[in-house]
Each structure stands twice: as structure tokens, then as C-alpha cells.
Amino acid sequence: MKNLILILMLLNYGMILGQQKSMVNDSILEWNSKDGLSWSDYLGTPNEDVFGYAMTSYKIEIIPSDVLVDENDMVIGYENLSVKANFYKYYSWTIDRSNNLLQHEQLHFDIAELFARKMRKEYRKSQANKDASFNTYLELHNFFWKKCRKYQIKYDDETRHGLEEEINEKWIVKVNEELEVLKDFK
């Protein structure tokens, strides 16, 4: 009887862990060219300390996230390193569901993908040169992440956070053209 209870407890624990993993996976969207964001993706609670109508939470992550680095700072399997742009549903929120604002927020995510492609391009160059140094990839990530943040700020400043619709449209064209130039690094 004790064994049956223990087995049921372990099965229940495994189901809970599986649900938690599913919840985590369901809360993150990886950028892709076919599916844009929708307001139903914005599941976070508005932050009263942040002035704005919406907040898009994104990150450019090194993958795989569990890389092995040896004692000489060399990445084991460096050939497989890449990055991806992710959107975080439970950290993204809105208090306005207008189409113009959604276009503005989508472009923030598109800009993250743009800089992920720039990182991928540089990662591939380093991989072609057989550079396995963890520091190389981390420095590239940090360099492009800072450039991405500056670009995002410039975008918000020039469009007044999307309120300048004509300027926002010009940014959409500009970013899409830049994404197209880097299409080989999807």
C-alpha cells in the first residue's frame, strides 16, 4: 500500500512538473515571420509605475541555454550556438487595444528579431573561423543587445511611442527592409 501511495505521489508530482513546464512554454512566443502578436498575447498586469498604453517584453536569448564551457573558456558544441528573439506574455501588458498601438508593439518585437539576425550573422562568422571561446559569443550578444536597446529607444522617441502614425509607418518599412536584407539569418 505504501508503494502504491508513493507511486501515485510521484505520478502526481510528475504531472504537476509537466504542467508547470507547459505553462512556461505557453507563456513565451518565439519570433516568426508568419505569426504576428495579438492583444490576446498580452497577459501581464499593467505596471502603474510605467507611463504608457502597452509594454512588450522581449529578450534575445543564446541557445542552447545549457551550453558546456570547459576550463579554458571553450564552448563544447560551439557550432550549435545561436540566438532567438522571444516575447514574454506574462510580462507584456496593455490598457489600449488599438490596431495602431499593436503595430507599434509588434515592431518592437520585430526589432528584437532584427538584432537577433545580426547576432546570428556574427555567430556564424565566428563559427566558420572555428572560434569556440565563450567570451566571443557573450561579447557579441552583449554588443548587439546594447545596440538593440538604443535602436528601440530611438524608435520610441521618433514615433512618440507610436503616436506619430506616419513616422511609425516609415519605421515599419525600414525595419522590414532590414529584416529582408538579413533573411539568410532567420
What ranges do the domains of the chain cover?
1-27, 31-185
What's this model's pTM, rounded to 2 decimal places? 0.86
Q: Return the sign of the alpha-carbon dihedral for residues 103, 33, 120, 79.
A: positive
Q: Sorting pLDDT into bands at 50, 70 and 90, what band is 25? A: low
Sequence-ordered list of residues with C-beta below 8 angstroms from that of 30, at least 6 positions apart, any chain = 84, 85, 86, 87
What stretch of H or E contains 69?
strand 68-69
Q: Sorting pLDDT into bands at 50, 70 and 90, what band is 24? A: low
In angstroms, the CA 8 to CA 159 distance is 57
DSSP SS3 for 164: coil
Please name the amino acid found at residue 135: N
CB atoms within 10 A of CB 176: 13
Which pLDDT score, from 0 to 100, does residue 35 have? Answer: 92
Which pLDDT score, from 0 to 100, does residue 113 have? Answer: 98
Residue 22 has pLDDT above 50, yes or no: no
% the chain with pLDDT above 70: 87
Residue 148, exposed/middle/buried by CB under 10 A (0-12, 13-18, 19+)?
Answer: buried
Pick the range with the lowest mean pLDDT from 64-73, 87-96, 107-116, 145-154: 64-73
Residue 146 has pLDDT above 80, yes or no: yes
| Mean local confidence (pLDDT), 105-113 | 98
Cell of 90: 506574462
Main-chain dihedrals φ then ψ at residue 59, nearest 5 degrees: -155, 145
